[in-house]
Chain A
Amino acid sequence: MTTPSAVGKLRALETTAHMSQFLIRFVPGVLILGTALALGTGVASSRLPAAGPLLDPSNGVWGLAAAERLPGSARIPGLSGPVELVVDRRGVPHVFASDELDAYRVLGWVTARDRLFQLELQTRAGAGRLTEWIGEQGLDADRLARRLGFTRMVERVMTEIDTASAGYRALEAYGQGINAWIERMGPAELPIEYRLLRVTPTPWRPENTFYLLGRMAITLALNDPSLAKARAAALVGWPAADALFPVDEPIQEPIQPNRVDRARIALAPLPPPGRPSADAGAVVATLDAVGRAFGLAERDPADVVVGSNNWAVRGERSASGHALLAGDPHLSLTLPSIWYQAHLVVPNRLDVQGVTLPGAPWIVIGFNRDIAWSFTNTGSDVNDYYRETVDSADAPSRYRLDDEWRPIESRIERYLGPGGDTIAVDTMRFTHRGPLTRVDSSWMSMAWTAYQAATSGEQFLAANRARSAGEFLEAMGDYVAPAQNMLVADRRGTIAIRSTGRYPVRPGDGRGDLIQDGSRSDRDWRGWLPLEFYPFALNPERGFLSSANQQPVDPAVNRRYLGADWPAPWRALRINQLLRADSAVTVDAMRRYQTDRTSTRGEAILPFLLGEGESAEARDSASAEVREARSLLAEWGRGYDRDDRRAVLFEAVMGELARRVWDELDVGGGAGGRPTRAVRPDDVALLGLLNDPESSWWDVLETSDRREGRDEIVHAALEAALSRTRTEHGDPAGDGWRWDRSHRKNIYHLLRLPAFSALDLPVDAGPSTLNPSSGSGTAGPSWRMVVELGPEVRGWAIYPGGQSGNPASPHYLDFLPAWLDGRLDSLPTPRAAGDLAADQVEARIRFVADR
């Protein structure tokens, strides 16, 4: 029997035991579960991705491979009727709709399914909204994007745009498709990049397309020919600088065929290096600061392969008797690719295929049932700087124009962090010309044709429907920027090319490579060059047309200033060399020409390295090393095949030669106290110099006690290059000298994650060849296409990468082997959904309107 007090004690003991038992489980339970949840949600570390959504075996990254399966049907709001989507074995969508807007809706849906992260990343980059994803790390890039004034321009366009226009309605429909995918996609279908960045997709808006086009304009139409020349002038004076960086290319193989229909070579002796120009130093400082302010940071010229090739032959020069067209735009190569292939069919209205830019609903380069077209970048000078007179050096509110003060438009730009907090605020200023920025103690504004470029794509939509070369050119007539050499061929056999884009008409001599006085309205652009004055050619007698970013018009034919930053015409020379020699061009020949690796640069320079033209005395004085280097170079076939064992020596000699010849352009400050080159002229200037053996440019600054000449420097370069190549690559007969051991392609993922990139790829390509590759190998042919314009138009194409942006997809990299080997895939051209054989089809999806 227990007393009441004993019962109380027992209860107290029991309660204590329960409490102990509770705490023994509660505290570790909270700690363990808390740790698991912190890891799962990503609260544990801002650097690590959230483990829960990452590791979830159904909806996390493990599910990405399974997420590639397509549904049998899908819904999109606004569809006016059913639409069939057939995805072929290459992952390319063929959209069959009875209404054009429905076709764009489904194109938006399928593009989002394959490329959602890319869609959002590139428009965020264009809009300067990366900080909302990655915080402070994105601030510099965002500031640059906004400083260029695209946010302001897009806002203005969106208030002024005709929302009933066909172009705007297409953008809207495309966005509806993207948003339908975003709303309906399962958690497993969320692209891995969102999980790694710990962000979620945001709905698509029509203005995103304008940001995308703005990004393209920055890449292709924002160049400054003044800076290189001014840098050279700051070291060797203006006369030498003008000759090193001429407005007109000394070797003319223009896009618009000239009278002689062959290369016109006008290599003049270079003026000797002169005294540094003091005013050039000031110009360089200003342009450097402007470049930094507007984000035009200089890239390694070797990595700038933002060029392209296109050419077309008339039926009389093709084996089949039909016109042929080839195009391969050279751009930065990324995974996923800048391009997304698609085919849109709307009976009696539209039947077009080719590549789209993810984010825009039209085919940029491609073909329909009647025509084919491709672009190369014109690279014209379409931006100018103005030094403005302002009312306050620190916070100007007005600028002087002629005799009056004009108000400066200002706007506040806020940069938000991932949590929606403001992490930075900038005041952006604008004159009537464009954005105004502070450069040291002065203020500079920039005029640029791209600010006029925000149309809703009507030109492209009409071009996609064009039935002839003439209709295509008419459709693209008011295209603004970036200016493109637009090549078109049609089934009737017409071939034509026009360098299309808005060119400013400048006052005075029309030159745009100088800083203008902003206080004078007479320095403003006077208007736009009329279309009839654009570089143009139609059905030339020679039977072919081509472009490779060279100067469009031979200045001997017309001296109108279009720019001053033309690349050396090595590729143009090679295309025309091949086409002139081939009077029965086939589709396969077009493909081989696209991947041609013979170097006209090598052909032009090699004879000098081999000693042709040297005096007998110089030849006799050559050392054993020089003779060996010459013997090895003589074995070079002027090509950059991946297994070539002599191209590596040629490139080493070119490097050694440039180092010795252009030493007047060196400045201090390089790594280890070595000089760095302020600027480097192209190899056409070197070729001119090789023809001038006594030029004072051959003299090496370091050896003040004697004066070197061409032969001595060539010998020294050969010796040094042979020694270096042996040291770096071993015996000349060994595999170490293979071209693919010293140069490879690198295609990086958009976030530069090596795991999702394709790196160290051997290629048959070299500097300035038709299939180009140089520098770090991160740029090159982003899309290769050949089209035969017979009774049934047929197309072949390839691009590096694959249709899907999902690294787990079989279509992430499936085009790459063919691209590396220079092969093209035959493109099916079904007229109806049932035309594709079952073995060509990966999936069929029927789209119906959302309830």
Chain B
Amino acid sequence: MKGRTIGWLVGLTIGFAIATAVLGWWSVPIVAMLGTFAMPPSLRPLLVVPASAGVAWLLLLWRSAEAKGFAALVDRLELLLSARAAVLYLATIAFAMLTAFGAALLASAFRPMAGSGRSRRAGGSAADRPA
């Protein structure tokens, strides 16, 4: 992975984390769209943006898990939702990634339309296509 990609990954992770903590879950598609618009297509935003969202939510989950009653909470949620803790963690991360991916895909659809000339010069890559 190139240094620029890692930089975008870290930056977007911070962006997703702050936006989620301050504004709530609904900020995920907004940050994903903005990130996709801002990110050079060659850096594979359709991979980097959802990955950043997933990492950000994983870190926030980690932070929440430090609270005293977290273990008891997980036990109760397992019973409430009839699912094991690992499934709940995965569902949480997957939800963030799915939301970010959908938003990134939608945003990427508008990018060539908005500036086809610039897009041609940048030379859209195969990896920029939808998965």
Contacts and interface: CB of A to CB of B under 8 A. Distances in A.
A34 interface: yes
B129 interface: yes
Contact of B98 (A35, A59, A62, A756): A35
Contacts of A31: 102
Interface string B95-124: 100110111111111101100100000000
Interface string B55-91: 0011011011111111011001111100000000001
A713 to B, nearest CB: 46
Contacts of A60: 25
Contact of A25 (B58, B76, B99, B130): B130
Interface in A31-69: 31-37, 39-40, 51-53, 55-66, 68-69
B5 interface: no
Contacts of A5: none
B99 A755 contact: no
A754 B106 contact: no
A64 B77 CA distance: 11
B21 interface: yes
Which of B57, B63, B64 has most A Cβ within 10 Å?
B64
A775 B123 CA distance: 76
Given A29-B102, A35-B102, A58-B60, A810 B116 contact: no
Contact of B113 (A22, A62, A65): A22
B42 interface: no
A26 B106 contact: yes
B115 to A, nearest CB: 11
Contact of A29 (B70, B72, B106): B106
A62 B95 contact: no
B35 interface: no
Contact of B92 (A22, A29, A62, A755): A62
A18 interface: yes
Nearest to B68: A810
B87 to A, nearest CB: 12
A756 B109 contact: no
A658 interface: no
A60 B64 CA distance: 10
Contact of B67 (A26, A32, A69, A807): A69
Interface in B22-55: 24-26, 29
A40 B99 contact: yes
A36 B69 contact: no
Contacts of B57: 57
Nearest to A19: B113
Contacts of B20: 56-59
Interface string A107-132: 00000000000000000000000000
A812 interface: yes
Contacts of B79: 754-755
Contact of A37 (B76, B99, B101, B107): B99
Contacts of A36: 29, 95, 98-99, 102
A39 B95 contact: yes
Given A64-B73, A810-B72, A25 B109 contact: yes
A21 interface: yes
A53 B26 CA distance: 9
A514 B48 CA distance: 78
B91 A808 contact: no
Contacts of A668: none
B129 A24 contact: yes
B77 A32 contact: no
B109 to A, nearest CB: 4
Contacts of B72: 65, 807-808, 810, 812
A376 interface: no
Interface of B: 20-21, 24-26, 29, 57-58, 60-61, 63-70, 72-73, 76-80, 91-92, 95, 98-99, 101-110, 112-113, 116, 129-130
For the complex of A and B, the 3 pairs showing the least CB-CB separation, nearest first, are A33-B102, A29-B106, A32-B102
